Amino acid sequence: MHLTPTVHRLLLLVLLGATPALAQAPRLALPDASPHASLSQRVGLTDITIDYHRPAVGKRKIWGALVPYDEPWRAGANENTTISFSSPVTVGGKQIAAGTYGLHMIPTAKTWTVALSTTNTAWGSFSYDPKEDAVRFTVTPTTAEHEESLEYRFENPTETSVTVVLHWEKLQVSFPITVDTKAVTLASLKGQLRGLQKFFWQPWNNAATWCIKADCGADQALAWADESIKVQPSFANLTTKAKLIEKKDPAGASKLRADAMKLAGEADVNVLAYQLLADKRYPEALDLFRKNVTDHPDSWNAHDSLGEALATTGDKKGAIASYEKALAMAQDPAQKKRINTVLAGLKK
């Protein structure tokens, strides 16, 4: 067997008692007894991530034995279990900053202490120091179905909150995390609108319409609507500004809507008409649907939408006439099938 000069020198160093660093064989990748796991959940715009290792029960007694009572526990295996937040959150009744925290728990037979440490690079909880806690709070564990390998999961996610659950053996511990999603989103939008998005009217308008939907930041929304119009007036942004000033300046809002209609396409008018229909402003909605039919007489969708509006307001005869016109123009088999089904219901 021919050995290269490099391999020959390495073997010689091993035989002659070389330093451990040179003599040590490379490690193989092998299955971990407590495999690594991670999971993430987005709450609004906030990403929450838990990174941990999953020990198994085996035939061992866990609580008060493998995991002693009244001692800090890494809430997992191996390295520090960590929990990360991409924006400020509230946990244990306290708001903490965005970042990555070491997650530790101190079990007792009745209640547990949960601690989020500002140190997240420790090996387990062996060097845990309560002075480094960002927050510490008490929870009460509950009994649960047997879970062989320790598991974290997120439950009951909403736009502003989620519950973290640790489940192992026949016990589980949970605690809620809440997010001021409106504040986080407003801050995020301000940052986004300093980027490439600032050169287009749509992002400014999208930010303003989000504020309307979320019922927050009215002054900021108006400023964003103005920026959108400054870039390029459109049906969408003029309508957005009209919504924002309607209560304080009805005449100004009316003028903006009139200006918006001069720029409106078929789809724009349709969207506005459906919004009015949803708000039960039926005469205004019907006026717009009829305008679309007048302006776009060859559009099956314009007739279809008018038919829906007439059916909603109780005008069956008018609805049938509009749907039949839409059916005669439609080309898509799926749409034709849908319209036929609607007509059959109206003609009963």
Number of residues written out for the chain? 348
pLDDT digits (tens, 9 = 90+) for 13-41: 444 454 555 568 898 999 989 999 999 99
In the chain, where are the structural domains located? Answer: 36-178, 182-346
Residue 272 host element (H or E): helix 266-278
- Predicted confidence (pLDDT) at residue 5 exceeds the cutoff of 90: no
CB 31: neighbour CB atoms within 10 A?
Answer: 5
Its pTM stands at 0.80
Alpha helices in 69-215 (DSSP H): 181-192, 201-214
Per-residue pLDDT tens digits for 292-304: 999 999 999 999 9
Nearest to 85 by CA among 135, 127, 34: 135
Whether the predicted pLDDT of 9 surpasses 60: no
**Does the pLDDT value for residue 7 go beyond 60?**
no
CATH fold label, 182-346: 1.25.40
- The residue-averaged pLDDT of 314-328 equals 94
Q: Quick one: CA dihedral 300, 303, 307, 313, positive or negative? A: positive
CA atoms within 13 A of residue 302's CA, in its CB half-sphere: 18
Tens digits of residue pLDDT in 64-91 = 999 999 999 999 999 999 999 999 999 9
